[in-house]
Structure 1
Amino acid sequence: MSRDCENTVIVGCGAVSVDFLATVAAFPNPDDKIRSTSFKVQGGGNAGNALTCASRLGLKPRLISKVADDTQGRDILHELQVDGVDTSFMAVSQDGTSPFTYIIVDSQTKSRTCIHTPGFPPMKPDDLPESSLLTALNGSRLVYFDGRLHETALVVAQEAVKKNIPILMDAERLREGLDDLVKLADYVVCASRFPQAWTGASTVPKALVCMLLRLPNIKFVIVTLGKDGCIMLERSANEGVSTEEMDVDKLLESLEMRKNRSIHIPTCISSSVTKLHAEGIGTVCGRLYIGTAENIPPSELIDTTGAGDAFIGAILYAICANFAREKMLCFAATVAASKCRALGARSGLPYSTDPCLASFMHSLPLN
């Protein structure tokens, strides 16, 4: 583990749940009756997964969320505590039910289908006393939101801004209250469909330019593309940059052509800092990156559940460790690939001592 990250505190606010994971030979048709080939009960939820990942890598996460005082809620808290996540800031309802998710994993396609049941009663800002909020944020290097619990999350985010604590936002899909949160973010990690859905742009690169123009606080935005890796647009200062503009779609095409498809480990290709133009949208000064995913052999690919959460957990660590951007994207892809080699969102999450991370953890951070 990088010494820069020893005892580094981060705070996360968002979803936790119990996942009921059933693996099937093939996804059923309507009215079918089938048997599972394997079954596992495990903690889940975007925030719970991402902070578990960050904790295994060496950070000290504190989680703000809510469960009920039922069997599932107690199991959720226990599993997080065992993994080193501080749950002392979580709300526990004496009545109601804890969140849970049914997940069907298709052995043929390696895809997963999720059916989520939210907890009740839902978390409200009153569930987080001001004294607990201030204590949670005390000494925090970074705050992370998964877009859930938006009313409470906004209170946490506004206090983080007052304290100049950077914010990373997971923009998985359009959600109630997300616009208010994303305006306060310093970093955004998006699912593949989000940038175009949120901006209305015709292509992903145009959408990323649009996001940086709409959100002046954003330092970088990453869109994850599953087995196709990721794309990142990082904002840069204008000083010393050529006045010539580059079409962002054409720039992405040129970077794609530089990919070495024979390399199976994650790699990263980047442009120089330039003025990136999106037709009909505008121009931003920045740098474009393509990160490739690890090419996992079919015999080793078990389940993609939580791969995005693993990626974000690794990004949280990489920011705290001051990794260079190229190193950050390769690191996150490696962590996500490790997760995909086991059933469930957490079983495959690597620890900082895992051999697959040795080249990242035993080298000095780059600035």
Structure 2
Amino acid sequence: MKHLILIGACYLDTILTVPEFPEEDSKLRATSLKVRRGGNCPNTLEVLQQLISTGPSCQSVKLRPHLISCLPSASATATRNILSSFGENPLVDFTRCLYREKYDEPASSYIIRSEKTGSRTIVNFNDLPEMTAGEFQEIVPAFSSEYSDGNETWWHFEGRIPETTLQCIRHLRQVTPKSRISVEVEKPNREGLVEIAAEADVVFYSKTWAESRGYNSPEACLRGEAKSSRASLMFCTWGAGGAGVLRLSGGGEYFHVPAIPTGQQISVVDTIGAGDTFIAGALYALHIEGWGLEAKLAFAVGLATTKVQKEGFADLTR
């Protein structure tokens, strides 16, 4: 059994769907309103939970998923709702989450989704104290004692607070040198993301981040960033353009998979969480023996393409 630990923020998403994005100081009637649990790592874990139960090779892929996230008080209604969103008997372990007992409200995202363009505009508010490097260092020993089973652990970081994330990664390198570490590099112009990417074994770059650095394709991004990274694998998602992966060892092998196969069409319903779904697919596929790197990439891209054609994350493995 390998322990897959995801570290990132958990949000309560309020999603307003509108005919078109409103002008400033105007009024507009929404066509729908949905409230659901969000956050990059929790979304990824929701998909991983499905894959571990019913995905391809699920009998041979032995993963135990964990979430490390700052949540309101353990007795708060919001916290109970967030945890119950993973189902009655979740595979995800929440015992290492950081419960902020003086707080009752979760981090929140307010998302305006335009039917006209398919765009989404997100406004976040988070009053919860962020995890500190010291708190993380106190958690790490649990995975070498309570969960010790002779196998290495895999740690995945959202990359929200780069300075703290860098301290956490360097601590893992010192105390658990066999661990594998992956990071998500998503938000443009966030100081310190280059430094944490340089320390990881696997890196996931977003299109918006790549374009903010002047890259015009996944391959350009990956080959450009490879010059300053120790990573063995680097992924870059490109929205409707699919995604690419670069293996830094073995001569720099590169693969690209389009989001939509040639000659096919899809109906886009909900793009919120597509990147999180891709990461879930990639993390899962990387643990399937017998698949080549291009097949692993194709699985992650196909899963994300399936997700954008339906609301939310339910039943993706069908």
TM-score by length of 1: 0.72
Task: Report how far residue 129 of structure 1 moved.
Answer: 5.8
Partner of 2:286, secondary structure, is helix
In the other structure, the counterpart of 1:184 is 199
Alpha-carbon distance in 2 for matches of 1:207, 1:329: 16
Q: Which residues of 2 match residues 265-276 of structure 1 at below 5 A?
A: none
Query: Are the equivalent residues in 1 in contact too, given 2:70–2:129 (CA < 8 A)?
Result: no
In the other structure, the counterpart of 1:306 is 273
Alpha-carbon distance in 1 for matches of 2:152, 2:19: 44
The AA in structure 1 aligned to 2:181 is I
Alpha-carbon distance in 2 for matches of 1:292, 1:145: 26
The AA in structure 1 aligned to 2:69 is S
Q: Which residues of 2 match residues 91-130 of structure 1 at below 5 A?
A: 91-96=98-103, 97-128=105-136, 130=138
In the other structure, the counterpart of 1:168 is 182
Alpha-carbon distance in 1 for matches of 2:311, 2:218: 31
Partner of 1:320, secondary structure, is coil
Query: Are the equivalent residues in 2 in contact too, given 1:14–1:65 (CA < 8 A)?
Result: yes
In the other structure, the counterpart of 1:318 is 285
After superposition, the CA RMSD in angstroms is: 2.4
In the other structure, the counterpart of 2:3 is 9
Aligned counterpart in structure 1 of residue 71 of structure 2, from 58, 64, 67? 67
Identity across aligned pairs (percent)? 28
Alpha-carbon distance in 1 for matches of 2:136, 2:156: 16
Alpha-carbon distance in 2 for matches of 1:201, 1:310: 23
2:236 equivalent to 1:236 = no
The AA in structure 2 aligned to 1:286 is G
Alpha-carbon distance in 1 for matches of 2:12, 2:173: 31
Partner of 2:309, secondary structure, is coil
Paired residues in the alignment total 293
Q: Which residues of 2 match residues 191-270 of structure 1 at below 5 A?
A: 191-195=206-210, 197-198=212-213, 205-215=219-229, 217-237=230-250
Aligned counterpart in structure 2 of residue 85 of structure 1, from 60, 81, 92? 92
Gaps of 5+ in 1: 1-6, 238-284, 355-367
Task: Report how far residue 301 of structure 1 moved.
Answer: 1.8
Q: CA 1:202–1:223 in structure 2 vs 1: closer, same or farther (change >3 Å)? A: closer
Aligned counterpart in structure 2 of residue 158 of structure 1, from 170, 173, 184? 170
2:36 equivalent to 1:42 = yes
Query: Are the equivalent residues in 2 in contact too, given 1:18–1:41 (CA < 8 A)?
Result: yes
Query: Are the equivalent residues in 2 in contact too, given 1:51–1:61 (CA < 8 A)?
Result: yes
Query: Are the equivalent residues in 1 in contact too, given 2:257–2:297 (CA < 8 A)?
Result: yes
Aligned counterpart in structure 2 of residue 29 of structure 1, from 23, 31, 42? 23
Query: Are the equivalent residues in 2 in contact too, given 1:89–1:136 (CA < 8 A)?
Result: no
Task: Report how far residue 152 of structure 1 moved.
Answer: 4.8
Task: Report how far residue 60 of structure 1 moved.
Answer: 2.2
Partner of 2:199, secondary structure, is coil
Alpha-carbon distance in 2 for matches of 1:50, 1:291: 20
217-226 vs 133-142, which moves further: 133-142
Gaps of 5+ in 2: 53-62
